[in-house]
Amino acid sequence: MERRGYWSKVPSIPPTDSPRETYSARVADRRVELGTAEATARRIAWLRLLVMAGLAWAFWLVIQGQIAIPVLFVPVAAFTALVAWQSRLTQGVERLKRAIRFHERGIARLDHKWRGQGSTGEAFADPHHPYTSDLDIFGRGSLFELLSGARTKGGEARLAAWLSSAAPVETLGERHAAINELRGNLHLREELAVVADDFGAATDPARLVTWAEASGTGFPAGLRVVALVLSLIAGGILVWLAGTAFLGVNARIAMMAIGFVEGGFALWLRPRILDVLFSVHEPARDLDLLARLLEVLEGQEFRSPLLARVRENLRVDGRPASHRIARLRRWMELLDSRDNVIVRTVGPVVLWGTQIGMALEHWRAENGRQVAKWLDAVAELEALSSLAGYAWENPADPFPDFADGAVFDGDSLGHPLIAPDRCVRNSVCIDAPLRLLVVSGSNMSGKSTLLRAVGVNTVLALAGAPVRARRLRISPVALGASIRSTDSLEEGHSRFMAEILRLKQILDLPAPSLFLLDELLAGTNSHDRSIGAEGLIRALIARGAIGIATTHDLSLARVADDLAPQAVNTHFEDRLEAGRLVFDYTMREGVVTRSNALDLMRSVGLDV
C-alpha cells in the first residue's frame, strides 16, 4: 500500500478481497502508527522539559558570567525544533484517529450498526418532495446516512441532489465508470475523509464563493507599481539615514518629503485597503483548508471521462489550483506578520499593509472566478467517492441496466436499509403490457416494505449507484410515492388532504413515471375510497405511468382484473401458529384470502 502524507512507514497490511478484513487490517495498521506517534510525542514532551531546564541553567550561568550569551542560542534552537516536531506529531495523531474512525464506520456499516453515526442529511429533507420523505432518503437511519462519506457541505449537497432527482442515462453511465475506478481506491477515500474533516467543519462554501466572485474594490496595475516605487525610495532613504547616523539634513528632508507623499497615498487608499483586509481573513483560511483537499485530488491519475474532467477543473492555465492557493497563503502570512515588532516599525515606511492589500485583491481578481469550479470538483468527487464506498462494501450489488419506455424489472430485490440476515427478497417485474401491480395483504405482511424496496432501488439506480438486487432493468422514470402521508398543523392540512395533494403531484409527474401507492385514500369512507382509487389508477395508467398500489380493500383488487393484461393481482399472506402470527414476507400471485386485523388486536390483549 502506498504511503503518503501523514502516514508513517509501518509496513502495510496485504490487501484482501473482503471489505471487512481490509477495514479491520487498516484499523490495526493505523493503531500501530498511532501508538508509535503518541509514544514519540510523550518522549518529546519530556525532552522539552529537559531543554527548558537546561535553558534556565544556561541563563543562570550567563548571569554569573561563566558562559557567553551566544551559547543560549543552542538550547533556544533545540526547544524551538522540539516544539515544531511535537506540533507536527500532534497533527499526525489527530489524523490517525480520524482514519481509525473512518474504517470503524465502514465496519459498522457492514455490521449494520451505522445508524446515528453519520450525517443524516436532514437539512435536505423536503416534505413536499414527491418521494424523499416516504422512502427515508434523509434523516436518522436514512439512505443518505448509509451512503454519505462526504465531509464537506458541498459534497453532502451534491449527493443529496443526486438522491433527489434522476440523472440522464448518459450521465449515469459516466458515474458508473467513475465509481468502478474509485471503488477499489480505499486509500484515496481515507485521505479525503481525513483531510476534509477540518474543511467540512470550518467552511461555508456559499460565503467563500460570494467573497471570491465579488467585484471587490479593484486597483489599477499602475497603483501597485507606484506603491512599490514609493516603498523602494523610502527604504533607500531609510538606509541613507542609518548610514549618516541621522545627521544628514538632506536625508532628513528627503525622508520627510517621501513620508508626506506616502502618507497621502496610503490615506487615499485606506478605506479600500481596509475593506480588502477585513474581508479576506475567513475566506483565506477556508481556501487554505481547500488547498489540502485539492492537493489530494491533484495527486491522482484518473482514466474515466468524468473523473478526468473533475481533475482538469483543478488546473488554471496549466497550473494546479493548490499552487495558486499557496500564493494566497504566502500573502496572508506576510499580512499576519504585521504583529512582528520589526514589521510594525518599518511597515508604514514601505507601505506594508497597502501593498499586501492590493496583492490580495489582485489574487481575487485573477482567481476568484475559479473558486466555485474548485469547490464543484471537490463536491463531485466526494459524492462519487460516497457511492464508490457503498459499491466496494457491497460487491454483490450490480449496476442496473437501462431500458427505453416504462420498465421496472428487478430480480431478487432487497431493501438496503434492512440488515441482510433479516431482508427477504422479492422479484418485481413491471414491463409491457403490464403496467400495474395491485398488492393485497394483511397488516404487517410486507406490503409497505416492498414499496420502499422498489423506491429506494429506483433512487439508487437513477443516482448512479449499485442496487440491492441480483439484477435490475429500469427506465429513467420520474418517481412518486405516497406511503407516509401525515397531517400538517402548520399548513392546516389533514392527513387526507396531504395525501390527495401528494397524489395530484404524482399524477402531474412527467412520463414515464413510476408510482408507489400505499393504502390509497385510507382517510375517507369505503365508497368514496373505492371510486377515487380506481379513478386515480386508471388516470395514471392512461398517462403512461407504471407502478404498484397496495390495499386492504379488495374492491381495488377487482380493478386489476378489469384492467388485465395491464394490471395483475399479487399478495402477501400470514398464518397463525400456536396463537402467534407468522409472516414470510414473500409476494405471491393472486388476491389475499384472509385478514389478520382481529388476530393482531387479540394478540395485544384487546377483547374483540
CB 297 within 8 A of CB 322: no
* Orientation of helix 221-243 relative to helix 249-298, angle to 10°: 130
394/430 Cα distance (integer angstroms)? 26
No. of H helices and E strands in the chain? 18, 14
| pLDDT on residue 257 | 74
> What is the SS3 assignment for 482?
strand
Residues β-bridged to residue 583: 574
CB 166 within 8 A of CB 478: yes
**Do you know the residue count of the chain?**
608
Distances, alpha carbon 395 to alpha carbons 113, 462, 466, 468, 543, in Å: 19, 19, 9, 10, 38
As given in the structure block, the three cell numbers for residue 284 are 483565506
For residues 69-94, one letter each, b for 16 or more C-beta atoms within 10 angstroms of the residue's C-beta and e for the rest, the string is eeeeeebeebbeebeeebeebeebbb
For residues 117-155, one letter each, b for 16 or more C-beta atoms within 10 angstroms of the residue's C-beta and e for the rest, the string is ebbbbeebbeeebbbbbbbbbbbeebbbbbbbbbbbbbb
- DSSP codes joined into one string, 309-374: HHHHTTEETTEEHHHHHHHHHHHHHHHHGGGSHHHHHHTTTTTHHHHHHHHHHHHHHHHHHHHHHH
Closest CA to 507 of 484, 486, 480: 480
Type of residue found at 334: L
Radius of gyration of the chain (CA): 33
Q: What is the DSSP letter of 423?
A: P
- DSSP codes joined into one string, 75-127: HHHHHHHHHHHHHHHHHHHHHHHHHHHHHHHHHHHHTT--TTSS---GGG--T
| Mean pLDDT per 10-residue section of the chain, whose length is 608 residues | 36 59 92 91 89 84 76 81 85 89 93 90 92 94 94 90 96 96 90 75 69 71 74 69 55 68 72 74 73 82 90 77 80 74 68 80 82 88 94 95 94 94 94 92 85 97 97 96 61 66 91 91 68 86 93 78 89 75 84 62 55
- DSSP codes joined into one string, 290-316: HHHHHHHHHT----SHHHHHHHHTTEE
6/96 Cα distance (integer angstroms)? 8
Q: What is the DSSP letter of 167?
A: P
| pLDDT on residue 426 | 95
350/228 Cα distance (integer angstroms)? 8
The distance of Cα 396 from the centroid of its chain, to the nearest Å, equals 25
| pLDDT on residue 211 | 80
280/331 Cα distance (integer angstroms)? 11
| pLDDT on residue 124 | 94
Pairing of strands 546-551, 436-440: parallel
As given in the structure block, the three cell numbers for residue 153 are 457541505
515/517 Cα distance (integer angstroms)? 6
| pLDDT on residue 219 | 73
CB 463 within 8 A of CB 387: yes
- DSSP codes joined into one string, 195-209: HHHHHHHH--HHHHH
